[in-house]
């Protein structure tokens, strides 16, 4: 609501429904959220779509994004645990306009990985981000959400090391998706545009912060809360042509690896080792 352009924007809110065996407490929380959605006029126009049954994150995102893109041709997407800088909407709208005809640019991120070196301009990475982002219908319709196909294609092209950008285990995440252990739209989205050799544009500083890493999340816990320490900033709107040189990519790859080591249990702390051991044992037992 405090964003520049919010008073000129149309907002669609997809409110998921209760799970099949939802408790009274869970249903009450859903009702509280739906009351909150109507508490203020968040944008110039607000449309609330309430699901009767639980679709889950992946299906809700895929269906909602598809619906809006079919209607408008472009979309800015936020999940409910993202807090934005006031420049967020203005930046993403401008980027959507500037890069629409640059087919190599698959999407726009509102998040930027923190860096030790100054970044004076927008930059491009061969990796996406779901923490406040935007894309176009022409890109979205090219996505293949079949995890088995994506996994096999990455293996056939011998690109597993490249896919694990920043030394993050994206291959393992895609494997978990294919086996049904998780239900993620984002890993399939990334894998699909990775195979197309597309890139995402990032701002100089992060325009969003993720406050959803706590024990109330479906896919997160309080041990992951490193991510909510990322600071939102204000930036100069300095856009440049798509592309990146290999040296810059290598530097950022290393820094992203450090970021994930701090924030995603990729350390040698006793807690991290215990978590890894638990999941290995669990996998063996299953």
Supply 17's token pair.
Answer: 């429904």
Q: Give the pLDDT score at 245.
A: 53
Start-to-end Cα distance in the chain: 47
Supply 39's token pair.
Answer: 């508490």
Q: Give the pLDDT score at 271.
A: 39
The pLDDT averaged over each successive group of 10 residues in the chain (286 residues) is 95 96 95 95 96 94 97 96 92 95 95 74 86 97 97 97 89 96 95 96 90 61 46 67 62 64 45 44 52
Token look-up 């509102």 returns: 110
CA 160/CA 172 separation, integer angstroms: 10
Token look-up 């056939």 returns: 156
CA 104/CA 70 separation, integer angstroms: 21
Q: Parallel, antiparallel, or unpaired for β 10-15 and 45-50?
A: parallel
- Residue 7's CB: how many other CB atoms inside 10 A? 10
Measured CA angle at 56 (ends 55, 61), to 5 deg: 90
- Residue 146 burial (C-beta neighbours within 10 Å; 0-12, 13-18, 19+): middle
Q: Give the pLDDT score at 70.
A: 98
Phi-psi region of 76 (alpha: psi -120 to 50; beta: other; left: phi over 0): beta
Q: What is the dihedral of CA 265, 268, 274, 280, to 10 degrees?
A: 80
H-only helix segments in the chain: 24-37, 57-72, 88-98, 137-140, 147-156, 160-163, 170-179, 186-195, 246-263, 270-285
CA 265/CA 271 separation, integer angstroms: 8
The arrangement of strands across the sheet holding 74-77 comes to 74-77, 133-136, 105-109, 199-202, 123-125
Q: Give the pLDDT score at 126.
A: 87
All structural domains of the chain: 1-54 (no CATH), 74-285 (3.90.550)
Q: Give the pLDDT score at 145.
A: 97
Supply 274's token pair.
Answer: 């215990």
Helices (H) and strands (E) in the chain, counts: 10, 9
Q: CB neighbours of 268 closer than 8 A, spacing ≥ 6?
A: none
- Quote the pTM value: 0.82
Measured CA angle at 139 (ends 134, 143), to 5 deg: 110
Q: Are 271 and 127 in contact (CB under 8 A)?
A: no
Backbone angles phi, psi at 35, to 5 degrees: -70, -40
Q: Give the pLDDT score at 232.
A: 59
């Amino acid at each position: 609501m405090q964003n520049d352009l919010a008073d000129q924007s149309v907002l669609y809110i997809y409110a998921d429904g209760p799970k099949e065996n939802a408790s009274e407490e869970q249903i009450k929380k859903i009702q509280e959220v739906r009351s909150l959605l109507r508490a203020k006029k968040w944008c110039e126009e607000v449309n609330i779509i309430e699901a009767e049954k639980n679709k889950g994150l992946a299906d809700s995102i895929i269906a909602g994004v598809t619906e809006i893109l079919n209607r408008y041709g472009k979309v800015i997407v936020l999940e409910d645990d993202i807090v934005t800088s006031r420049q967020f909407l203005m930046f993403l709208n401008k980027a959507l306009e500037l890069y629409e005809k640059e087919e190599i640019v698959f999407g726009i991120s509102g998040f930027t990985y923190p860096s030790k070196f100054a970044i004076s301009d927008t930059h491009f990475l061969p990796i996406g981000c779901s923490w406040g982002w935007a894309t176009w219908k022409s890109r979205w319709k090219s996505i293949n959400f079949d995890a088995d196909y994506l996994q096999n294609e990455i293996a056939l092209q011998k690109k597993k090391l490249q896919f694990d950008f920043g030394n993050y285990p994206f291959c393992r995440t895609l494997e978990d998706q294919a086996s049904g252990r998780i239900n993620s739209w984002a890993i399939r989205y990334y894998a699909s545009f990775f195979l197309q050799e597309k890139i995402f544009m990032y701002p100089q500083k992060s325009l969003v912060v993720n406050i959803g890493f706590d024990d109330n999340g479906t896919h997160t816990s309080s041990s992951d809360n490193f991510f909510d320490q990322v600071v939102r900033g204000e930036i100069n709107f300095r856009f440049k042509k798509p592309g990146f040189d290999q040296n810059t990519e290598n530097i950022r790859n290393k820094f992203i690896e450090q970021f994930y080591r701090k924030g995603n249990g990729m350390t040698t702390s006793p807690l991290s080792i215990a978590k890894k051991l638990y999941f290995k044992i669990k996998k063996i037992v299953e």
